[in-house]
Chain A
């Protein structure tokens, strides 16, 4: 191993990369687009209240006003009163992409005061389970309180609730989607930039005779490999900085930056550089290499917890996720960045390291510069 030669190769690799808009796009810009896109789509999940569009046909009664302010106080929904001439609310909600709506019938206040059963109508879009759940919970809670109050008034006047609850989320802090997305997308970068380009480079350099050319210089195969691993590690650190910067800066992600993510940022690229080389070495042509690379990369991209936490998967898919090497990279970073659970992070790291060593050894064994 000669540092000067590794550095020379690293310089050429970096130049080639920086001058290749496609490579650059997929390594740095694409993950950035993903975090912006997914961030904007899901940033509000679980964080702010759903808007409850309400037609109030009993506008004049103080009871209906009190009912609506009760809904607002739950913080699960924000009531937005709309004109009663809107017509069929279900149709209007669908046309305007609004997931939840409420209709308060005429005579609502009077019926309540006289203890006559009366129904409000709640419209929910089952596809937006989050907003639906919030709206149903809010309406039921306020209804319960109104029913309780009505029951008390019918007996002797005043009474206060016996049981209450203090809302708290799982864990010390309440994590939103964007918090999981930051480590997930760092994992995405660790996976995709070395995989896509190493598969291509390994097979096309062989076809074009560039390995043959390099084998006639003092550069050794191991030096070349070292230069690649260093380069993808640099790219990984860059991508991680971008993800953390945008996640925290733009979406206020609640992640804890810690030195313990460094082991994952070092060994992750080694694992996928090796896997990419393996795929590229096994394939006979650059075309078949691309197919093999995609077969390995795409399932891992979606199933290892990159875009959605694995805990939300069905039990069967969770088993699949846990055989994917990327799962342990992302889980480890979740443990470090979100939960500070270093014991579990260490277990993840040992698994990642073990897989990386196996893949690296296999790649070095199978990857040849010269023909026999």
Chain B
């Protein structure tokens, strides 16, 4: 499959600060690509360079075979963009906004169909300033589809939305993928990336620290799988006495760190034979979020603590 986006050695300097520092990645056409990172990591700068809204300092960038900065106008006819916190003309309705965009792009989009698609039909004739955050974001999504784009850029499309509105946006993203469009998604919801994305890149301090499918990243960078047995300290002591594996006791369960798959079977068999009391078991793996937190920092109350101790507003 051809690459919809190809980035090679991209660097963006603001004075002496490298906001984006020599990054490279490719996005295959027709896939969903999630770009993850804490605020200030270089996500938005990279996205804006891809969209042709910002000049780069170094490196090569091809989007649909075009240079976004030098060939912005032909590129913009083929991409759709919704920024985070989408804002538009306050007194104009969604239907009128879509008509406006249709005329600008010279397409013959049907406002009713587009609004139906993003589940905004009931607000077709309400003025923008009366829409809720989720409804505004849905309009942004509808407008980004007016020109039937080959690539959709969604910059934190669900930040601040309630779970229902978030799922509605996810449905549209899945549908875009089914239609063969490429989706470039930035988000700081790891769950969102894990559910939607074929490929993920994690950026921190302007550099890509991990890239691949969510499963690959977890395989490569996640902690080992663990056997979780719902049981008391007697079982923990028993496993420790019989096996070399690390055993952690947490709440009503114990976690046994597995070295390979056969470990789990042997341990379960031994516990069963010991006749000690246990009520259930499962194997657990790191999620993408666990990996992200290990690579980048941790989230507390919406404030991301980066690994070097600085903080950034996650919802800024």
Partner-B contacts on A (CB < 8 A): 4-5, 7-9, 11-12, 15-16, 19-20, 208-210, 212-213, 215-219, 370-372
Contact = CB atoms under 8 A, between A and B. Distances in A.
B55 to A, nearest CB: 5
B167 interface: no
Contact of A210 (B53, B55, B88, B105): B88
Nearest to A7: B103
A215 B89 contact: no
A15 to B, nearest CB: 6
A218 B77 contact: yes
15 contacts: A5-B104, A8-B104, A12-B89, A12-B92, A12-B100, A16-B92, A209-B83, A209-B85, A209-B87, A215-B76, A218-B77, A218-B104, A218-B105, A370-B52, A371-B53
A210 B86 CA distance: 8
Interface size class of B (residues with CB under 8 A): 20 to 34
Contacts of A215: 53, 76
Contacts of A370: 52-54
A372 B88 contact: no
Contact of A16 (B83, B91, B106): B91
Contact of A15 (B54, B87, B91, B101): B91
A11 B92 CA distance: 10
Contacts of B96: 12, 15
Given A9-B104, A210-B87, 13 more contacts: A12-B89, A15-B92, A16-B91, A16-B92, A208-B87, A212-B53, A213-B81, A216-B76, A218-B73, A218-B76, A370-B53, A370-B54, A371-B54
Nearest to A371: B54
A338 to B, nearest CB: 39
**Considering residues B52, B104, B106, which has the most beta carbons from chain A within 10 angstroms of its beta carbon?**
B104
A266 to B, nearest CB: 26
Interface in B46-101: 48, 51-55, 73, 76-77, 79, 81, 83, 85-92, 96, 99-101
B127 A19 contact: yes
A5 B103 contact: yes
The main secondary structure of chain B at its interface with chain A is loop
Contact of A217 (B85, B105, B127): B105
Contacts of B91: 15-16, 19-20
Nearest to B14: A372
Contacts of A216: 51, 53, 76, 79, 81
A16 B53 contact: no
Nearest to A23: B91
Nearest to B80: A216
Interface in B94-122: 96, 99-101, 103-106
Contact of A212 (B83, B100, B101): B83
Contacts of A212: 53, 83
A208 B105 CA distance: 22
Nearest to B75: A216
Contacts of B88: 210, 213
A73 to B, nearest CB: 61
A371 B52 CA distance: 10
A11 B127 CA distance: 15
A212 B76 CA distance: 12
